[in-house]
Amino acid sequence: MNLRPAATKDLVAREYGSATEVVVKKWFAYAYHVKGDPAEIREVVPQHVAYWKALNPDGYRGGPFSDRTGGLITFTEIGYI
């Protein structure tokens, strides 16, 4: 199997004899903002963190903003075309 990068680093063509499979890596970003009662927020945050850790998406990076008003989560998903 030959891996040959295409136009971008997130698109790879794999050649299988005379057939070619194109693998696409899509990036997703999820921004969230936190408003409300601080006690309720402290109660919900561990559940939010546990959800993303259990989901364990490829390329996961995430965390709160430095002022704790929200945060940003990014991850990838692989698709085939």
Q: How far apart are CA 74 and CA 62, in angstroms?
A: 6
* Collapsed DSSP state (helix, strand, coil) of residue 4: strand
Domain ranges of the chain: 2-80
Is this model's pTM higher than 0.75 or not?
Answer: no
Retrieve residue 76's tokens: 């990838």
- Look up residue 41 and give its DSSP letter: H
Each residue's pLDDT, cut to its tens digit, for the chain (81 residues) gives: 333 333 335 556 666 666 667 777 788 888 988 888 888 888 988 898 898 889 888 888 888 899 888 889 888 876 655
